[in-house]
Amino acid sequence: MNWPLLVFLLSFVMVFVVRIPIALGMMMSAIFYFDLAGGPGADISMVAAQFLNQMNSKFVLIAVPLFVFMAEVMNTGKITDMIFEFAGAVVGKKKGALGHVNVVASIIFSGMTGSALADASGLGMMEIKAMNDSGYDKGFSSAITAASATIGPIFPPSIPMIFYAMLSGASIGALFIGGMLPGILVGIALMIYIAMVAHKRDYPLGGAVTFRQMLAITLKASPALFSVVVLLGGIYTGIVTPTEAGALAAFYAIFVAVFIYKAMGLRDFLKVVRNTVRTTGTLSLLVGSAYAFSYIVAIEHIPDLVANWLLHITSNKYLLLLLINVVFIILGMFIDTMAITLVFIPIVLPLVTSLGINLVHFGVLITLNMMIGLSTPPFGMLLFVVSGISGTPLKDVIREILPMLLVLFIVLFLVTYIQPIVLFLPGLLGLL
């Protein structure tokens, strides 16, 4: 191993040891590397060059602030309230109804934003409060909110899938639609688990809804629900690109929040923009730094080394998928999803391609894997979010989420080994 590479790797390890922000840490490691490497095409300005030129040429990245903005508008503009009410009416009189409502609302909401954290922090607060007030265990309410929020980035649209598409060259449209069945599968699996727990713990029944009430609630919620049509309809009819659909849906959400639900004034709008800027700064800095970082990873042939090492263990495609899943789940327990996507996925992608694994299939399964990581103790970010917004001790949330994780792992196993769960719909639409 050469000296610059050693410093590069050691300094990157220090990022995790002394709690340096990961985006800044990747830039730091790249700067040290280029300073020591020297030679033509390898001076410190390469960090700026990689960061700026890649950001300036990747049109698809504009989708990120647009989707973040859309999620912020929906969380501020009463749209989440409407979805929650509508989901309640759909579920109706069932034992443990609010648990089911939690999952149904997450599926609908994920069709709008593509962000698990937006789901947990927006809808989550409402869901947990309603469940706690109705007598559900606090840990259970928080845990099911975290588990159901994982559907967000699996069901289209999805911010992590945009990053994956950018790294792998896979079609965003195919990835989005490929995530649909796995997203629904996660929802069904969680609802089966909720039904079992609700029966055992005698959780309360939901309110019965008459046809007339259902109609009234649907009418009231329809402007909010129509944003799913704007977004997904736009993408799959091919009328607009996914990035344009993000902008249109955000515009539509502002219109609904301001003029129909009258829930957003200028002050709220500025707050939404401020939050959007902060989140965009966090995500985009990670992306920009990852370009410089990945450039070094590529010129030092690290993916080849990892591929050779993994192939040395086994060359069986199915065992390798299992191995990659296990490694990513362990990474997901400790490291943020975006950091995993941008640092570790480029390392395994050449291996995935050489094994002939479909890139859309891998993209969806690895996104599901990473989303499960967001709810996996000890450091899944969703656990902290739901514990924070509900005031429930973290240990209670962790105790309740463990069986739900088992359910999610079963779905991950199915998605990994039954390829048509992911590829059936994209194939049907001719996107493969």
Partner 1 sequence: MKKGFKFLLDVIEVYTPMAAFIVLFTVFMLGIFFRYFLAPLTWTLELSLVCFIWTALLGGLYAKRTDSHVKFTLIYDMVSPKKQLWMRLFGNGLLLTAFGMAFYPSLNYVLFMGFKKSNVLKIPMDVAFAPYVVFMAFMIGRLIHDLYKDLNLLFRERIPK
For residue 264, the Cα-to-chain-centroid distance in whole angstroms is 26
Q: Which residue among 45, 308, 314, 354 contacts partner 1 (CB under 8 A)? A: 45
Cβ neighbors of 238 (< 8 A, separation 6 or more) are none
Q: Is 165 helix (H, G, I), strand (E, B) or coil?
A: helix
**Can you tell me which of 12, 23, 227, 404 binds partner 1, judged by CB under 8 A?**
23
If the CB atoms of residues 248 and 359 are measured against partner 1, the closer one turns out to be 248
CA 388 to chain centre: 19
Within 379-418, the residues that bind partner 1 by CB under 8 A are: 379
Verify binding: residue 280, partner 1, rule CB under 8 A: yes
**Using the rule CB under 8 A, which residue among 286, 310, 349, 386 binds partner 1?**
286
Site string for partner 1, 346-385 (x = CB under 8 A): --------------------------------xx------
Q: Which 8-state DSSP code applies to residue 205? A: B
SS3 95: strand
Quote the tokens at residue 278.
């902060």
Q: Which tokens hold the place of 120?
A: 């947990």
The whole-angstrom separation of Cα 115 and Cα 148 is 12
Which of 229, 277, 305, 429 forms a contact with partner 1 (CB under 8 A)?
Answer: 277
Any residues with CB less than 8 A from the CB of 185 and at least 6 apart, and which?
411, 414, 415, 421
Structure tokens at 421: 């769960």
Residue 216 within binding range of partner 1, rule CB under 8 A: no
Tokens 């490691």 — which residue?
29
Nearer to partner 1 by Cβ, of 81 and 244: the residue is: 244
Q: Which residue has the tokens 């327990």?
A: 333
Residue 76 CB, shortest distance to partner 1, in Å, is: 15
User: Which part of the chain contacts partner 1 (CB under 8 A), choosing from 49-57, 221-229, 411-419, 424-432?
Assistant: 49-57
Q: Which amino acid is at 36?
A: L
* Chain position carrying tokens 């995500």: 283
Using the rule CB under 8 A, is 340 a contact of partner 1?
no
In this structure, the dihedral spanned by the alpha carbons of residues 13, 19, 20 and 21, taken in order and rounded to 10 degrees, is 110
Q: Is 204 in the site for partner 1 (CB under 8 A)?
A: no
Residue 284 touches partner 1, criterion: CB under 8 A: yes
* C-beta of 253 vs 423, nearer to partner 1: 253
Q: Which residues bind partner 1 (CB under 8 A)?
A: 11, 14-25, 27-28, 31-32, 35, 43-45, 47-49, 51-52, 55-56, 59, 61-62, 65-66, 69, 239-240, 244, 247-248, 250-251, 270, 273-274, 276-282, 284-286, 288, 334-336, 338-339, 378-379
